Amino acid sequence: MTDPVLSLSALTRDFGPFRAVDGVSLTIRRGSITGLIGPNGAGKTTLFNMVAGTLKPTSGTVSLNGTDITGLPSEALFARGLARTFQIPRPFRRMSVLDNVMLAPPAQLGETVFGALFGRGKVAAEEARLRDKARDILAFMTLDKLADQPAGKISGGQMKLLELARALMGDPSVILLDEPAAGVNPSLTRTLIERIEELNRRGTTFVVIEHDMDFVMRHCDPVIALAEGRVVFEGSADEARVNPLLLDAYLGAPA
Ligand SMILES: Nc1ncnc2c1ncn2[C@@H]1O[C@H](COP(=O)(O)OP(=O)(O)O)[C@@H](O)[C@H]1O
Ligand SMILES: [Mg+2]
């Protein structure tokens, strides 16, 4: 593949004697919305955790834009344009929606030694800039009316949109979405899909873990399937649609 944005090579993660991800090698095409599917326990979230820096691989490598990023912490990756959302949103529940978005950048000026060096004026200016940016992102995600609500008071679906809003504060070129539509009502799911596709048109690459096969088939190409920690299918959405293995695993059986 020419110009992959992400390359995983023999990525492996053990939990004690159990191998959750077993030698996964794959590339993610720049500009794609790649679907990552597989039954519960297949290792999808563990794979995301290793790519996004929340879990160190037992072995194997990850590279982003051709640079080895294996084992770098999530803050460092966020700064390099790789962001992720969590399967279970975890906002700071008592803080406002706006503050949750503003807190997304890992090293805000006011909280670093640079804050002391730059002085209060610079810190205030930086905070104002972050606030404006967070408000713009909330408007884009249709959450602007909820900006001052405590994040714990918004619906589960709105929390999923908030997750994506937080990710956008890093101006990411790659976003990993872990089950973005799970438990989200159809109207908010539509908003989410529209926003994903709009960002994708502007150049953002997405990797999306999703169980909703309708979502995957309509919006993801290519599709990669994991089972028991290994890649068992890689192909276009059309190929996935007629693949007997996937038919048995997903389309023929109730979820
Ligand atoms: N921190 C952990 N400690 C031990 N086992 C884990 C841990 N995280 C995940 N696992 C196990 O690894 C396997 C893959 O989990 P996960 O990546 O969450 O799967 P998926 O997201 O595909 O449902 C499961 O069997 C799960 O129980
Ligand atoms: Mg998972």
Confidence of residue 115 (pLDDT cuts 50, 70, 90): low
Q: Residue 253 has what pLDDT? A: 46
Is residue 15 within 6 Å of ligand 1 at its C-beta?
yes
Three-point CA angle 19, 23, 28, nearest 5°: 125
Whose C-alpha lies nearest to ligand 1, atom 25? Answer: 41
Residue 252: pLDDT band by 50, 70, 90 thresholds? very low
Residue 164 · residue 189 · CB < 8 Å: no
Reply yes or no on whether the pLDDT at 105 is more than 70. Answer: no
Q: Which of 91-105, 134-148, 235-249 has the highest mean pLDDT?
A: 134-148
- Strands annotated E in 138-252: 174-178, 205-209, 223-227, 230-235
Q: Is 40 a pocket residue for ligand 1 (Cβ < 6 Å)?
A: yes
Q: CA 147 from chain center: how many Å?
A: 22
* CB of 46 shorter than 6 A to ligand 1: yes
Domain 4-251 has CATH 3.40.250.10: no
Q: How many C-beta atoms lie closer than 10 Å to residue 198's C-beta?
A: 11
Q: Which residue owns the Cα nearest ligand 1 atom 4?
A: 15
Q: Check: CB of residue 28 under 8 Å from CB of residue 221.
A: no
Crossing angle of helices 156-168/186-201, nearest 10°? Answer: 10
pLDDT tops 50 at residue 134: yes
Encode pLDDT of 6-53 as tens digits.
999 999 999 999 999 999 999 999 999 999 999 999 999 999 999 999
Task: Report the chain's mean pLDDT, rounded to a whole number.
Answer: 90
Give the C-alpha separation, 62 to 72, whole Å. Answer: 10
The atom of ligand 1 lying closest to the CA of 16 is 4
**Does the C-beta of 38 come closer than 6 Å to ligand 1?**
yes
Closest atom of ligand 1 relative to the 47 alpha carbon? 17
The more confidently predicted of residues 250 and 240 is 240
Q: What phi and psi, each to the nearest 5 degrees, are found at residue 68?
A: -65, 120
Q: What is the pTM of this model?
A: 0.91
Say which range, 64-78, 117-131, 185-199, 208-222, has the weakest mean pLDDT: 117-131
Q: Work out which ligand 1 atom sits closest to the CA atom of 38.
A: 22
CB distance 43 to ligand 1 below 6 Å: yes
Quick one: pLDDT at residue 180?
Answer: 92
Which residue among 13, 14, 15 is best mutated to probe the pocket of ligand 1, counting the most ligand atoms within 8 A of its Cβ? 15
205 lines ligand 1 (CB under 6 A): no
Domain boundaries, the chain: 4-251
CA atoms lying within 13 Å on the CB side of residue 95: 13
- Supply the pLDDT for residue 233: 94
Cα–Cα distances in Å, from 98 out to 117, 128, 140, 180, 209?
Answer: 27, 12, 13, 20, 26
42 lines ligand 1 (CB under 6 A): yes
CB contact set of 221 (below 8 Å; sequence gap of 6+): 32, 33, 34, 35, 236, 237
